[in-house]
Amino acid sequence: MALDLYIDGFAFCTQTPQPQVFAPWFEARRLRRMEAQSAQMLFASCQALEMAGQPVAQEKPFGLSLGIGPGSLQNTCKFMDSILQDGDELSSPTAFAGSVHNAAGLTLSLFLNLCGPCLTSGQFNTSFGAALLTAQSFLYSAMAPYVLVAVADSVNPVACALREKYPQVLGGALSTGYPTHTAAALLISAQKTPHAKAKITDFQFLCRQPAYVPCLGKGWAPLAAGPAIELCSLLKQGKNHFEIKDDSLGVCTVIKGELLNAY
C-alpha cells in the first residue's frame, strides 16, 4: 500500500560548519568536541526543522532515520591510530564511541530533543533509500508524526591523499575537489501541512539481480548523501517535478515528486 510522503523542510551541507553558525540554536561550547560528520548532519537538520516551522529546542516525538555510508572515518582512523600507538588496552574509548554508525543518532537526538524511534542504515550508496524506507515505515505504523531523515558521507582521507598516486584505483572513485564530508536532512510527514514544500509521489527501493558490485566498477564512490543532496538541490531550484534515480549495490532507488510551495 502506497503512502504519500511530504517534505516539510530540507537542507544540505558540504562544508564543515564553524561553531558560530550554530548560535541561533546552541552555545558554541557544546560543539567543541563534535566531529565533522555529526556537525554537518546537525547543521542541516537544524535548517530543515526551522524551514518546517519546528522549534529545535522543544521536545518533539519525531522519529529519526539516519543513512550513513562507511560511518565516521575521521573517528575510525583516530581509533585505529590509538591502537597502533598505545595498544589495545590503551586505545581511545572516545574515538571508538564516535566511530560506530549510530553515534550521530545520539548526537541528533540530544541536540534536537527528539524522543521518537531512531534507526541507522549503513548501506553505502543505498543508505539514503534505506533511510527513506525506514521513515516511510515509521509513518505508516504511526510511530511518529514526523521523521527527520539525515544522511551523511565520509570519504576516507587516506584515499584522498593517495588518489593522485594511484589514479587507476582511486581516480574514478574520488573526483578531485570532492569534500571529505557531506550531509543532508529532510523532515518528512505523511500528512500535508501548511509547511509542506513538496510531495513524493513515487518511491521505490527495489533489489536487482545480479547485484552490481560497485567497487569493481568505474566512477563509484561511497556517496550515501549524493542522492539526498541532489534532491535538496532540485527542491531549492524550484523544479515543479523532480526525479532521482540511483542504481548500485544491487538496489535501485527511484524517487519522484512534485513541488507544492516555494520554500
Residue 95 sits at φ, ψ, to 5 deg, of: -65, -40
| Best CA proximity match to 119, nearest among 71, 68, 65 | 65
| Best CA proximity match to 211, nearest among 244, 247, 255, 169 | 247
| Percentage of residues of the chain with pLDDT beyond 90 | 35
- Pure H helices in the chain: 36-51, 73-86, 93-99, 103-112, 127-140, 157-161, 226-237
Note whether 101 and 150 are within 8 A (CB).
Answer: no
Report the pLDDT value the prediction gives residue 1, as an integer from 0 to 100. Answer: 42
Report the pLDDT value the prediction gives residue 7, as an integer from 0 to 100. Answer: 95
Q: Is 162 exposed, middle or buried (0-12, 13-18, 19+ CB in 10 A)?
A: middle
Please indicate whether residue 170 or residue 227 has the higher confidence score (pLDDT): 227
Mean pLDDT value across residues 4-20: 90
Q: Which CATH class is domain 5-259?
A: alpha beta
DSSP 8-state class, residue 193? -
Q: Which residues contact 30 (CB under 8 A, 6 or more apart)?
A: 111
| Best CA proximity match to 120, nearest among 93, 76, 152 | 152
Q: Whole-model pTM?
A: 0.82
Mean pLDDT value across residues 125-145: 91
- Given a cut of 90, is residue 48 above it in pLDDT? yes
Query: Tens digit of pLDDT for each residue in 25-37?
Result: 998 888 877 777 8
Highest mean pLDDT (candidates 79-88, 112-121, 169-178) = 112-121
Query: Tens digit of pLDDT for each residue in 63-82?
Result: 999 998 776 667 667 667 77
Q: Is 202 exposed, middle or buried (0-12, 13-18, 19+ CB in 10 A)?
A: exposed
Mean pLDDT value across residues 28-55: 88
Mean pLDDT value across residues 190-198: 92
Query: Tens digit of pLDDT for each residue in 153-175?
Result: 876 666 667 666 766 655 544 55
- Given a cut of 80, is residue 12 above it in pLDDT? yes
Amino acid at 96: F
Strand 118-121 relative to strand 63-68, pairing? parallel
All structural domains of the chain with their residue ranges: 5-259
